Structures are given as structure tokens and as C-alpha cells.
Amino acid sequence: MHSLPEFNLPVKYLKGVGPARSEHLKKLDIETIGDILYTFPRRYEDRRTLTPLRALVDGETSSVIARIVSISSRKTRRKDLSITEAVITDGESIALVIWFNRKGLERIFLSGQDVAFYGKIEKKYGKPQLTNPDFEIIENDDQISEFNRIVPVYPTTYGIYQKWLRKFINANIKLFLEKVKEFLPPEVISINNLMPLRDAIMQMHYPSDRDTWKKARKRLVFDEFFVLQAGLAMRRSAGEKTEDKAPVFPSSNISFIQAAREMFSFPLTAAQERVLVEISGDMGQDIPMNRLLQGDVGSGKTVIAVLSMLLAVKNGYQSAFMAPTEILAQQHFQKLSRYFESHNITLAFLTGSMNGQERKNSLQKIENGRADIVVGTHALFQEKVRYARLGLVVIDEQHRFGVIQRGALRKKGQNPHVLVMTATPIPRTLTLSVYGDLSVSVMDEMPPGRKNITTRWVRPSRIEDLKDFLRDQIKRGRQIYWVCPLIDESETIQAVSLSERYEKLKVSLGDMRVAFLHGQVAPDEKDLTMSDFEKGRIDILVSTTIIEVGVDVPNATVMVIEDANRFGLSQLHQLRGRVGRGSFKSYCFLLAEPSSIESKQRIRTMCSTENGFKIADADLRLRGPGEVCGIRQHGVTDFRVADLVRDRELLLLAREQAFRIVGNDNQLAGLPLLREEVLRRVGKVLDLVKTG
């Protein structure tokens, strides 16, 4: 933490830690002295009110100070259970204290010793009893005031007990807090009325009262957002200030409207036209485009990608189109080949599984420039791939590639423009955190004719009615997806497996053509199954979420999601988007018996709206940023204090000020402490270190 070397000192060198305990601490994200100071309580216990034993109430949590009358330990008939029992008194009343499996306590306590206890009260045989309470042996009056306060409760893990961790953190705060330096510019602290950093850290561990704690939290939340946004601003600035200019693609020699009519035989939506103006504006400058295109399932993002690549090709440059899976890359290659056929544009295909002559041919076409557009997976940015004149990179389903990987493909050309796309709607706060260095375009309009999908919650008890409906759909010539959360049965997870559902459907719908698909199926077999489903040779495809992204079968009109309560909202929305892609009425059935309030809320949200952005906001509120749309970047969405839902306004404030400051000093040379903090916290995850 900060510029002082001791804050980066590994905890294993501290007194009382050692190699074994340091491994346990690592699970709590405590690896350095700096991490100790920033490991904050998950809750607090108010022990300021001492309760006489006679006033203890069943079910309440209380603080008491009493004297040990007697203590004993005994084993039970169960081999793995021992009980330590103490009788305590405060001079007026008597109570019992019970600990389970705490060997050696009878040697710690002595009759006549004064002890402070804190724990939950149970009434047993008319007497109050504290079970497994926290305790502090009182040896002087100072310890009473020490115990009689608001006490932090930290996250713990195997091998790290609350009492030890509390003492450990406290000891290191006393040793190192005074060495913490302010890294925010003074005017930022002043404008936002922020608490001094040392005070904020202290108050988060040992709050004086609720108002002071809120001010401390505000300071630390602002710090987390500000540092991340400053890092994102430095990253964007490094791209814009580079000496290598991006190729300039004037759009004057192409009519997007005319090209769209020729290639797609339907008019562009107003949203598509607006986004094309934004993208062509970026590509018409020598600053490399860095744009995120968000559009709900079916909003027509592929049209935008095609027209953007056409602009690059018409200006004499190659385009690369990267998809997250081989199945999806193959589908895109086939579609794009049809679209570009009339323009005499050559395509090449490249994936990791290709080898031999086929791979060699593709690599040659890419290197000698005969391939105008290259479609593939992450293989597109492998070392041996060389482009003749790469001018545009399009990345589909960006969240599956991570924050840094898009940079690897950019290095393949002379600063090509980059367009990243996602069909997973992302809440604005999350967009600013994960893609904060990108410009953002949002397509919030569906093409005309796109049909609504009827979504219903079906209890397992009504599954026979559901099967009758499926039979009727298949008789009409339609096809069905049936998605399961597990491939095989599990002892720990209560859910219907794919193998079990597949066997049951084969029996109950024996006259239908039922097939299965999951990630462990061999690639050739997987491709064959998908091809058969696309060609209508399979009626029901029982699958895992492998079909979540990009599979396009217009004749599939029903999506059944087994144990739907086991999926997040954004994933349910993605799965639902696999149907409704043709001209037929489509349905999504959420087969579930949810037990928690949150699960029921997710199901009801799905049934009430098809708006992906509303669903993403609900998902963020319910599950947090780390799980939404598969994004989990340590240091980007994993905040120690901040919350992207409740702290949205602070994020916007911190972003505006961080970008302004970096705009005036793009490497923060004049603010060395802030620069040090940015590089320490997010330098690695944002690939900043080399830019300094």
C-alpha cells in the first residue's frame, strides 16, 4: 500500500504468522501489511451496554461481566464432541456458560477470575446460558473499557479464528497506521468533503458512532472508485496519445443505408443508424477507436459489425472478427460469407483446433492480404498469426475474453480500431467499471417484426402439461431447447441432470427425435449435433448452457430451463434469447420449485419483462457485480468497500474527477503518490505498468 516498502511486506514475516497461517490468511485476501489495514469488518457488535445476569433475556445477544465459580470439561458419548461448562456469578445471580469442542479452557480459567462474556442467551432449566461466547479475562479496569465498546467482526476462514484475527489486525493498525500517506490530491479531498485517510481506516475498524462510520465509508468507497477510474483514464490516454496513428477510414466512399439494403434486404433501425454514425465518426480519425456496442439479443449488432468491416475493407484494410467459441465462430463465418458474397470480399477462418494444410492456407491468406476478413476464436491473436494490414478488430461477447485480451489482438496491426460487442446488457455502473476506458454505444431498439417471447413459470408438478404443449409444437414443425444445469447427477446439488432428463424424455416422448449436447462431447460430435438441430433433424435438444451464446436456429420456438432457480437473471435472459429468432410465436418455460425469496424474485422478474437492461439491473442488485454476465476481474469488480448498486452516485463523481485530472496529466507525473497507488491497485489488471 502506498509508496512505503513495508506495506508490501508479506504477512508471513510478521510475528505469530509463519508459512501455514499466511496460507490461511491468503484465502481472506490478506497477503501484505497493506491488506491487513484494508481488511474491514463485515459487521460490528455493540458491547457498550453491560447486562446484569438477572436481566438476561432468552434469544438476545448480551455483554456481561461475571466471576468464575467453577469450570469443568467432559467428553460425550459422541467421539467428536467435548463440552466445557462454567458456572458464573455477578454477585446477585448465577448463569451457565457452555463451549463445544474448546479443549484447554478449563486450564485458562480459574475460580474467582473476572471475565467479560459476549454471546447469545438461551434459557435452560430456568437459568440463563451463554453458548460459545466471546470472552476476555479481566485483569485490570482498562480491559473493561476495552471490552465495553463497538467490536469489529471480520470475515474468517479455516485456521483463522475471530479473536486471533481481531488482535492481529489491531496490533498492525497500531504499528502501521501512522505511516499511511494521503494519495488523493488535496483539492479532491476538499471538494468532496472527504475524511482524512488515516481517520477513515481507523473508523472503519473501530467506529465511534454510525454517522462517523458513514463518513469513513464514503472516503474509502470514493478512493476505490477514483483509483480504478484514474487507471482506466490512463489506459485510454495511453491509446490516444500513442505515436502510432490509427488508419483513417473516411465513410464518404460508402453508403451504409444502401449497403444494408443490398446485403440484408431490410431497412436499418434508428438505433442502428445512430450507432453507425458514432462508429464511422471514430473510424474516420487517426485516434484508434475503442468502442463497446451493447445491444440486447436480436437488436441487430451483427449488421453493425458487417457494415463496420465493410468500411475497413473498402479503405484497403483487413478486419478480424473474434467469437468466444468454435461453434459460434463457424456460424458467423457462414453468415458473413453470405453477406459479403456480392461485394467480392474474401474471408478466412481460423480456430485453435485447425491443423495441417487447412491451417497453413488460412495463415498464408491472412499474411499475404488475400483474406479481407478473418473470422475465428482467440486463435486470431496467437503468435504465428501475421496480418498484412489489420485495420479493424471486432470482438463478439467481449465479457468472455476479459479486460486485457482485446489488447493482444490490437498489437497484430498498426493500432487498428477496436469494436467490442455484447448481447449481455450491462448496468451502466458496471460498464463504467469494467469498460470505463471505452466509448459506449447502446442499441435499445428492436428491428420491426421481432416477436415477443411468452415466459411462464412452471412447477415440476405440471411437467406433464408442459410435455403435451411440446408435443403440439413439434407436430407444428417447431423445435425445442431443454437446458439443464448439470451433466450428471450430483450428491451435493439438488437438481435434475442432463443425462437423467434426456433418458426420461426419450421414454415419455419416444416418437420424437431427442438428442443431447454438453461441453464434454467431442468437438466433431458437437458440431454434427448442432448441424442436425439447425437442419431440423432433431426435435428436442437437451443441453447445458453451451447453447447460451450465439446459436441461431429460427425454427426453435420453445426454451425449457430446468431448475431455473439455479441460474442468474442475465444467464436466463441469454438462454431465452435463443428462441424468438424466426417468424413463429416463441415461448420460454422456467421449470422450478425455488425455495428462497431471491430465487422467486428472479423467476418473477423474468416473467414480467424482456428488457435486458432492466434484467441486468435487477441481477446486479440481487447477486453483485462479480457474478453478473460472467465478469469477475480482481481489482475491477472486487471492491473491499464499494458497492456498485448503492454507491452509483459516488462512482459517477469519482469518474468525472479522475478523468479530468488524468486529462491534464496523462501519466500522473505531478502526483507521484496517486500514480503509485493506481499502479499498485489496478496496474496489473489494467495492463498499465508498461505504459508508465
| CATH code, domain with 142 | 2.40.50.140
Beta bridge partners of 115: 66, 137
pLDDT at 548: 65
Q: Tell me, yes or no, whether 34 lies in a domain.
A: yes
Same domain, 264 and 412: yes
3-state class of 81 per DSSP? coil
* Residue that is written with C-alpha cell 435499445 in the block: 444
pLDDT at 528: 87
The residues of the chain scoring below 70 in pLDDT are 1-5, 141-147, 239-244, 253, 398-410, 425, 428, 434, 449, 489-494, 548-551, 623-637, 689-692
What residue ranges in 264-377 does DSSP mark as E strands? Answer: 290-295, 318-322, 347-350, 373-376
Residue type, 179: K
pLDDT at 598: 83
User: Which of 383, 405, 422 is the C-terminal boundary of a domain?
Assistant: 422
Q: Tell me, yes or no, whether 576 lies in a domain.
A: yes
Contact 626, 635 (CB under 8 A): no
Q: Tell me, yes or no, whether 313 lies in a domain.
A: yes
Query: Which CATH number fits the domain that encloses residue 275?
Result: 3.40.50.300
* Rg, Å, the chain Cα set: 31
Characterize 555-575 residue by residue with b for buried, 16 or more Cβ atoms within 10 angstroms of its Cβ, and e for exposed.
bbbbbbbbbbbbbbbbbbbbb
Cα separation, 237 vs 661, in Å, equals 12
Counting Cα atoms < 13 Å in the Cβ hemisphere of 661 gives 24
Same domain, 479 and 593: yes
Q: How many other CB atoms are found less than 10 A from the CB of residue 294? A: 26
Same domain, 391 and 529: no
pLDDT, tens digit, 9 for 90 and up, residues 491-545: 556 677 898 899 999 898 878 899 998 878 887 788 788 889 988 999 999 998 8
Q: Tell me, yes or no, whether 237 lies in a domain.
A: no
Cα separation, 610 vs 577, in Å, equals 9
- Measured N-to-C along each axis, helices 197-205 and 162-176 cross at an angle, to the nearest 10 degrees, of 160
Cα separation, 302 vs 293, in Å, equals 11
Same domain, 354 and 461: no
Contact 637, 625 (CB under 8 A): yes
Q: Which residues have a Cβ under 8 Å from the Cβ of 526 and sit 6 or more positions away?
A: 327, 517, 546
Same domain, 63 and 11: no
Cα separation, 20 vs 33, in Å, equals 17
Distances (CA, A) of 638 to 252, 428, 617, 654: 45, 17, 18, 17
Same domain, 526 and 588: yes
Q: Tell me, yes or no, whether 55 lies in a domain.
A: yes
CA nearest to 628, candidates 421, 419, 429: 429
pLDDT at 568: 83
In eight-state DSSP terms, residue 13 is G
pLDDT at 632: 46
Cα separation, 479 vs 579, in Å, equals 10
3-state class of 375 per DSSP? strand
Same domain, 273 and 404: yes
Concatenated DSSP letters of 16-60: TTHHHHHHHHHTTT--BHHHHHT---SEEEE--SB--GGG--TT-
Same domain, 169 and 133: no
Same domain, 557 and 494: yes
Cα separation, 387 vs 383, in Å, equals 11
Domain that holds residue 269: 251-283+300-422
pLDDT at 145: 63
Q: Tell me, yes or no, whether 38 lies in a domain.
A: yes
Same domain, 483 and 565: yes
The grid coordinates of residue 164 equal 486471533
Q: Which residues have a Cβ under 8 Å from the Cβ of 537 and sit 6 or more positions away?
A: 513
User: Which of 565, 587, 609 is the C-terminal boundary of a domain?
Assistant: 609
Q: What total of structural domains would you count in the chain?
A: 4
Same domain, 481 and 601: yes
Counting Cα atoms < 13 Å in the Cβ hemisphere of 400 gives 18
Contact 299, 441 (CB under 8 A): no
Same domain, 488 and 597: yes
Cα separation, 491 vs 573, in Å, equals 28
User: Which of 148, 172, 192 is the C-terminal boundary of a domain?
Assistant: 148
Q: Tell me, yes or no, whether 536 lies in a domain.
A: yes
Q: Which residues have a Cβ under 8 Å from the Cβ of 311 and sit 6 or more positions away?
A: 249, 251, 254, 280, 283, 392
The grid coordinates of residue 424 equal 449481455
